[in-house]
C-alpha cells in the first residue's frame, strides 16, 4: 500500500520539503516558509503523519498578488491560442502523472482511487476544453444606428484571479478556474483548503514545470498561498484581485463576498448544496437505485453535489426503500487505497461529530434510521486512526429543520409524496439551489421538472444522479449556492472583461439618439 513517501519524488514535491515542513506559499516559483505557527498534517485514512504546513500570512498574500499582477501584464499580450498551447501542455503533464496525483488526492481526502482518478480526469478534460476555447473567445458585432459606424464587442484579459477551493475536490475545482483563467490571459493566485495542501503543491509543481519549458510564459502566472480562512479573506479583500472565485461552505462564501463587495470587486461563488432527487411511479428503479447510492454514499457524502434528500412517490416507496437498504448493506467501507472499497473515511473527527449530531436531531424530529449511521471500528479493511462511518438512510415524516441543512456526510433523508407538484415544491423549499434530479420515464413529468416552474437549481437532471457533472456544462447553483457558474458553456466570460467599441469610419459626427449639439 502506497504512502506519502512514495509520491514525494515522482510528483516533484521533494524540492519543497524542508525536514518535515511544507511551504505555505509558492510565489513566482519560489517556496516561502513563513514563521507562523505550523499546522500538523495527517491523512484521514489512518492519521499517518504528513508533516507540517507553515501557513502564509498577509505579507505572502500581498506579495503573491503583486507578482501575479506583473505576470499578467506580459501574459495578456500573448495571443490566446498560444496561451491555449500552454494549457494543452499542462494537460499532457497531468495525463502523465494521473495515477500518482490521484494517489496523493486519496491520501489527503480519503476518496477512493477511481474517484480520485476521476477528479484528475476533470483537470485533464478542462485543459482540453480550455485549449480549444483559446481559439473561440469570441465577441459580437452589433448594428449601429449611425451611418458608417460599427459596434464591436471584444473580450480582453481581466487581471489577477483569486481562487479559493475546498478539501473535497483539491485540484479539479481550482483547475476549472485556473485553466480557463490562463487561456483568458489572466494570472492566478490560489488558496486551497488547509486540509489538502500537498495536492495543491503537487498541482503547482506540475504547472510550474510546464511554465519553465514554455517560451514567453512568466513564472508568476500561478501563485500559491496556503492557510486558514484569514488567507482567503486577505485575498478577497485585495483590490488588485479582479475576480475572486470561491468554492466551499455558504458561511465562507458570505465572508468572501462581503470582503470583495466592500471594494466593489467581482466574486464568483459555488457554495453549499442540499441536493434532492424525485422518484416517480414510472421510474426505472434499478437505474434510480444505482444513481441514488452513488450520489448519496459516493465520496462518503462529501461532494457539494451529494444527494441528501429523496422524495419518493408513495406507490413505489416501499419497493425503492427495500432496494436501497439492500444496496447499502453491500457498500464496502474501508481503506480507500483498496480496490474493492466504495466508501472511504470522512475528512476528520469534526465531520463525524456533525454527522452524528444530525442523526440525533433527525430522530428527535421524527425520523427513523433505516440503515447505517454508526462509526465503523478499526480492524480488517478499516485502518486505525480514520473516521469511518456507515452511510445512513433515514425515513423522515416530512422536510424538518435538519433536512433543510447541508450536513457534509453520507446522510440521505427519504420522504414520501403523493403529487409531483408537491415534490417539486419541496425540492425548491430549501435555501440552497445546486443540484437536483428526477427519475421518471414519463416525458411530461421530466418536462415539468426541468421547465421554468420546475427545479430551481443550477443543475436539474433526468435519470442521472445529482453528483458527477461533466465539465462541458456550466457548473453552479442559485440562492445560497451563490449564483456563480464555473467550468464549461460560457463560464469563461467571468474571467475576461468586455469592451464595447464604437468605430466611426466616416467624415461626419452624427450623435446617437439624434442629439444635436452646436
Which residues are catalytically annotated? 270, 304
What's the closest the beta carbon of residue 236 comes to ligand UN1, in angstroms? 18
Should residue 275 be labelled a site residue for ligand UN1 when binding is judged by CB under 6 A? no
Q: Which is nearer to ligand UN1, 173 or 420 (CB)?
A: 173
Partners of residue 61 on adjacent β-strands: none
C-alpha to C-alpha distance for 127 and 84, rounded to whole angstroms: 8
Q: Residue 299 or 440: which CB sits closer to ligand UN1?
A: 299
3-state SS, residue 375: strand
Total number of residues binding ligand UN1 (CB under 6 A)?
12
Q: How far is the CB of 168 from ligand UN1 (least distance, A)?
A: 5
- Residue 294 found at the interface with ligand UN1 (CB under 6 A): no
What residues contact residue 213 under an 8 Å CB cut-off, 6+ apart? 89
Q: Rounded CA gap, 198 and 339, in Å? A: 23
Residue 305 found at the interface with ligand UN1 (CB under 6 A): yes
Q: Which one of 12-20, 392-400, 464-472, 510-518 is the stretch in contact with ligand UN1 (CB under 6 A)?
A: 464-472
Orientation of helix 172-183 relative to helix 197-212, angle to 10°: 30
Neighbours of 422 (CB within 10 A): 11
Q: Smallest distance from the beta carbon of 374 to ligand UN1, in angstroms? A: 25
With contacts defined by CB under 6 A, name the span among 93-101, 168-176, 223-231, 363-371 that binds ligand UN1. 168-176
Q: Which stretch binds ligand UN1 (CB under 6 A): 182-190, 303-311, 382-390, 448-456?
A: 303-311
Beta pairing, strands 149-157 & 275-279:
unpaired
Residue 457 binds ligand UN1 (CB under 6 A): no
Q: Which of 304, 324, 376, 414 binds ligand UN1 (CB under 6 A)?
A: 304
Q: What 8-state DSSP symbol labels residue 146?
A: S
CA gap 74, 199 in Å, rounded: 28
- The span from the CA of 159 to the CA of 73, in Å, is 8
The C-alpha atoms of residue 164 and residue 270 are separated, in whole angstroms, by 10
In what order do the strands lie in the sheet containing 496-504?
A: 141-142, 149-157, 496-504
Residue placing its CB nearer to ligand UN1 in the complex, 169 or 439 = 169
**Shortest spacing between CB 469 and ligand UN1, in angstroms:** 3
Quote the distance between the C-alpha of residue 356 and its chain's center.
25
Q: Which stretch binds ligand UN1 (CB under 6 A): 150-158, 164-172, 316-324, 382-390?
A: 164-172
CB 303 → ligand UN1: shortest distance, Å?
A: 4
* 277 touches ligand UN1 (CB under 6 A): no
Whats the size of the chain, residue-wise?
518
> Which of 195, 303, 309, 323 touches ligand UN1 by CB under 6 A?
303
Q: Residue 114 Cβ, how far from ligand UN1 at the closest point, in Å? A: 14
Q: Counting contacts by CB under 6 A, is residue 168 touching ligand UN1?
A: yes
Pick the binder of ligand UN1 from 193, 247, 432, 455 (CB under 6 A). Answer: 247
Let me know if 136 is exposed, middle or buried by CB neighbors in 10 A (0-12, 13-18, 19+). exposed
Work out whether 177 is an interface residue with ligand UN1 (CB under 6 A).
no
The upper half-sphere exposure of residue 224, i.e. CA atoms within 13 Å in the direction of its Cβ, equals 33
Where is 32: in which H helix or E strand? strand 30-32
Please report whether residue 173 would count as binding ligand UN1 according to CB under 6 A: yes
Per CB under 6 A, 292 contacts ligand UN1: no
Could you give the string, one character per residue 210-229, with x where binding to ligand UN1 holds by CB under 6 A and - elsewhere? --------------------
What span, in angstroms and rounded, lies between the C-alpha atoms of 241 and 473?
Answer: 26
Closer to ligand UN1 at the Cβ: 165 or 280?
Answer: 165
Bridge partners of residue 135, in order along the sequence: none
Side-chain-side CA neighbours of 60 within 13 Å: the count stands at 29
**468 scored as a contact of ligand UN1 (CB under 6 A):** yes
The mark string for 95-124 relative to ligand UN1 (x by CB under 6 A, - otherwise) is: ---------------------------x--
Q: Least distance (Å) from ligand UN1 to the CB of residue 173? A: 6
The residue (of 317 and 469) whose beta carbon lies closer to ligand UN1 is 469
**Residue 41: CB minimum distance to ligand UN1, A:** 21
Cβ-contact 482, 322 below 8 angstroms: no
- Using CA atoms, how far apart are residues 192 and 203, in angstroms rounded to an integer? 11
Residue 169 engages ligand UN1 in binding (rule: CB under 6 A): yes
Q: Is 274 in the site for ligand UN1 (CB under 6 A)?
A: no
* 3 state SS of 504: strand
- Among residues 467, 477, 482, 494, the one that binds ligand UN1 under rule CB under 6 A: 467
Alpha helices (H) along 369-452: 420-428, 443-450
Which runs of E-coded beta strand occur in 56-139?
A: none
Residue 473 makes contact with ligand UN1 by CB under 6 A? no
Q: Which spans of this chain sit near ligand UN1 (rule: CB under 6 A)?
A: 122, 166, 168-169, 173, 247, 303-305, 467-469
Amino acid at each position: 500500500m502506497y504512502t506519502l513517501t512514495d509520491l514525494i519524488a515522482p510528483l516533484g514535491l521533494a524540492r519543497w520539503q524542508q525536514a518535515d515542513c511544507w511551504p505555505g506559499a509558492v510565489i513566482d516559483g519560489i517556496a516561502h516558509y513563513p514563521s507562523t505557527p505550523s499546522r500538523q498534517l495527517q491523512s484521514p485514512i489512518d492519521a499517518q503523519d504528513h508533516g507540517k504546513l507553515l501557513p502564509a500570512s498577509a505579507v505572502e498574500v500581498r506579495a503573491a498578488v503583486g507578482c501575479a499582477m506583473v505576470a499578467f501584464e506580459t501574459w495578456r499580450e500573448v495571443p490566446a491560442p498560444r496561451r491555449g498551447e500552454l494549457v494543452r501542455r499542462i494537460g499532457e503533464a497531468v495525463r502523465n502523472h494521473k495515477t500518482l496525483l490521484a494517489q496523493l488526492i486519496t491520501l489527503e481526502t480519503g476518496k477512493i482511487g477511481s474517484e480520485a482518478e476521476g477528479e484528475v480526469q476533470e483537470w485533464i478534460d478542462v485543459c482540453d476544453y480550455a485549449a480549444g476555447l483559446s481559439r473561440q473567445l469570441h465577441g459580437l458585432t452589433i448594428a449601429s444606428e449611425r451611418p458608417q459606424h460599427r459596434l464591436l464587442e471584444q473580450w480582453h484579459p481581466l487581471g489577477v484571479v483569486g481562487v479559493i477551493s475546498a478539501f473535497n475536490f483539491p485540484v479539479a475545482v481550482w483547475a476549472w478556474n485556473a485553466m480557463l483563467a490562463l487561456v483568458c490571459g489572466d494570472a492566478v493566485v490560489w488558496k486551497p483548503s488547509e486540509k489538502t495542501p500537498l495536492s495543491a503543491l503537487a498541482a503547482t509543481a506540475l504547472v510550474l514545470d510546464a511554465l519553465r519549458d514554455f517560451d514567453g510564459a512568466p513564472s508568476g502566472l500561478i501563485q500559491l498561498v496556503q492557510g486558514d480562512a484569514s488567507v482567503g479573506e486577505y485575498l478577497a479583500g485585495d483590490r488588485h484581485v479582479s475576480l475572486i472565485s470561491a468554492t466551499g461552505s455558504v458561511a465562507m462564501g458570505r465572508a468572501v463576498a462581503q470582503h470583495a463587495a466592500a471594494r466593489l470587486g467581482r466574486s464568483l461563488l459555488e457554495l453549499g448544496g442540499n441536493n434532492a432527487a424525485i422518484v416517480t411511479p414510472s421510474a426505472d428503479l434499478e437505474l434510480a437505485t444505482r444513481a441514488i447510492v452513488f450520489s448519496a454514499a459516493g465520496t462518503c457524502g462529501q461532494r457539494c453535489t451529494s444527494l441528501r434528500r429523496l422524495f419518493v412517490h408513495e406507490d413505489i416507496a416501499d419497493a425503492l426503500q427495500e432496494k436501497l437498504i439492500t444496496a447499502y448493506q453491500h457498500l464496502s467501507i474501508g481503506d480507500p487505497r483498496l480496490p474493492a472499497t466504495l466508501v472511504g473515511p470522512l475528512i476528520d473527527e469534526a465531520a463525524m461529530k456533525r454527522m452524528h449530531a444530525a442523526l440525533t436531531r433527525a430522530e428527535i424530529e421524527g425520523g427513523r434510521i433505516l440503515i447505517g449511521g454508526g462509526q465503523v471500528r478499526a480492524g480488517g479493511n478499516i485502518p486505525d486512526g480514520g473516521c469511518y462511518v456507515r452511510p445512513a438512510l433515514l425515513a423522515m415524516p416530512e422536510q424538518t429543520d435538519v433536512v433543510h441543512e447541508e450536513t457534509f456526510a453520507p446522510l440521505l433523508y427519504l420522504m414520501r409524496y403523493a403529487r409531483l407538484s408537491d415534490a417539486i415544491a419541496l425540492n425548491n423549499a430549501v435555501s440552497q439551489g445546486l443540484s437536483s434530479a428526477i427519475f421518471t420515464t414519463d416525458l411530461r413529468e421530466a418536462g415539468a421538472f426541468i421547465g421554468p416552474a420546475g427545479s430551481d437549481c443550477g443543475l436539474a437532471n433526468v435519470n442521472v444522479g445529482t453528483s458527477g457533472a461533466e465539465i462541458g456544462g456550466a457548473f453552479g447553483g442559485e440562492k445560497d449556492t451563490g449564483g456563480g457558474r464555473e467550468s464549461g458553456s460560457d463560464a469563461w466570460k467571468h474571467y475576461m472583461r468586455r469592451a464595447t467599441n464604437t468605430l466611426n469610419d466616416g467624415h461626419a459626427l452624427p450623435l446617437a439618439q439624434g442629439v444635436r449639439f452646436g
